[in-house]
């Protein structure tokens, strides 16, 4: 049983580790809530004649769905947990000798550990439910009243936002990550292993409207440096905007005018050396 549980833990951990680079948190959580209960069937069957307390492991499933997903999925995962229970009961009658022999004293210790573990899990889920809800409230206020962050963030949360932004800004200024034309908030989220919603919030907290406005500020500043430090007779405008990370000239022209108030061509004419 120890080997079985260890292998299950390692398997799920490795899967989550590799998936986090390609999938959002919701998909990873959804996959975990579907796969993890299946491992529990064997555990319940092994202890069936002595205790059915292992069913407690299924309690966090609908609770996790309630925190991360819609009411429709809460119903789905609640039904899924009930299906696991009924399936296990049927298997227990079909394979009556599948269980392991263990003393009642050990069962009592294991059941106690089981209940304590699940109380801790549920407490963590409830804690993050409140954290998630507080961030949702901040977003709703921002949208409805156009109030910029921070609103009700405490000192610790502000420090976390500043730490995340510092990590992002280092990638932009030192590594020039903005030059990547395929850069988006999901790519950045996978690179620094921070949820995209937190990235978005910490960028807005620094005074930018959104992720795109932040990236565009770096790209346009790079363009300005190129124009000022490059012999414009030897390079084309195509080279300048593609080197800054833009795929099309129309997008580049629009963004440049939004930030500088004039078109790139007008800026070049004004700043052309005599």
3-state SS record for 174-237: CCCHHHCCCCCHHHHHHHHCCCHHHHHHHHHHCCCCCHHHHHHHHHHHHHHHHHHHCCCCCCCH
Band of the pLDDT at 14, cuts 50, 70, 90? confident
Cβ proximity of 62 and 73 under 8 Å:
no
Q: What is the DSSP letter of 21?
A: T
Among 54-63, 99-108, 139-148, top mean pLDDT goes to 54-63
Q: For residue 178, which of 229, 230, 213 has the smallest C-alpha distance?
A: 213
Q: Which CATH architecture has domain 151-274?
A: Orthogonal Bundle (1.10)
Q: Is the pLDDT of residue 12 over 90?
A: no
Band of the pLDDT at 274, cuts 50, 70, 90? low
Of the listed ranges 46-55, 70-79, 112-121, the one predicted with least confidence: 46-55
Task: Tell me the pTM.
Answer: 0.47
- Token readout for 44 is 């319940």
- Tens-place pLDDT, residues 50-76: 877 778 888 888 888 887 777 888 899
Residue for token pair 């009592």: 108
Q: Is the pLDDT of residue 144 over 50?
A: no
Q: Is 19 exposed, middle or buried (0-12, 13-18, 19+ CB in 10 A)?
A: middle
Chain-wide mean pLDDT for the chain? 81
Q: What is the DSSP letter of 100?
A: P
Residue for token pair 């709703």: 140
- Token readout for 70 is 């819609």
Cα separation of 123 and 126, whole Å?
A: 5
Between 85 and 157, residue with greater pLDDT = 85
pLDDT value of position 134: 57
Q: What is the DSSP letter of 170?
A: H
Q: Is the pLDDT of residue 216 over 90?
A: yes
Of the listed ranges 132-136, 140-144, 179-183, the one predicted with least confidence: 140-144
Among 129-133, 139-143, 246-250, top mean pLDDT goes to 246-250
Band of the pLDDT at 125, cuts 50, 70, 90? confident
In terms of C-beta distances under 8 Å and separation of at least 24 residues, what long-range contacts does 25-34 make, across chains too?
25/68, 25/195, 26/68, 26/69, 29/64, 29/68, 30/68, 30/69, 30/73, 33/61, 33/64, 33/65, 33/77, 33/80, 34/80
Residue intervals of the chain classified under CATH 1.10.10.60 are 151-274
pLDDT value of position 35: 86
In terms of C-beta distances under 8 Å and separation of at least 24 residues, what long-range contacts does 191-196 make, across chains too?
192/164, 192/167, 192/168, 193/20, 194/164, 194/167, 195/25, 196/24
């Amino acid at each position: 049983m120890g080997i079985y549980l260890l292998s299950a833990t390692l398997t799920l951990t490795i899967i989550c580790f590799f998936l986090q680079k390609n999938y959002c948190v919701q998909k990873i959580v959804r996959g975990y809530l579907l796969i993890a209960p299946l491992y529990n069937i064997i555990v319940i069957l092994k202890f069936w004649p002595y205790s059915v307390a292992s069913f407690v492991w299924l309690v966090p499933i609908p609770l996790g769905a309630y925190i991360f997903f819609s009411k429709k999925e809460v119903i789905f995962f609640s039904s899924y947990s009930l299906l696991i229970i009924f399936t296990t009961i049927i298997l227990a009658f079909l394979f009556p000798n599948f269980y392991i022999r263990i003393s009642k004293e050990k069962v009592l210790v294991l059941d106690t550990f089981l209940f304590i573990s699940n109380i801790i899990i549920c407490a963590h889920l409830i804690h993050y439910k409140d954290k998630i809800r507080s961030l949702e409230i901040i977003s709703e206020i921002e949208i409805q009243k156009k109030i910029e962050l921070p609103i009700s963030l405490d000192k610790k949360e502000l420090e976390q936002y500043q730490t995340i932004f510092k990590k992002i800004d280092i990638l932009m200024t030192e590594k020039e990550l903005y030059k990547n034309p395929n850069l988006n908030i999901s790519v950045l989220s996978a690179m620094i292993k921070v949820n995209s919603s937190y990235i978005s919030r910490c960028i807005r907290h620094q005074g930018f409207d959104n992720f795109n406005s932040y990236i565009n500020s770096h790209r346009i500043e790079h363009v300005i440096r190129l124009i000022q430090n490059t012999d414009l007779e030897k390079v084309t405008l195509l080279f300048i905007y593609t080197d800054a990370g833009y795929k099309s000239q129309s997008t580049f022209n629009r963004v440049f005018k939004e930030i500088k108030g004039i078109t790139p061509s007008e800026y070049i004419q004004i700043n052309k050396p005599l």
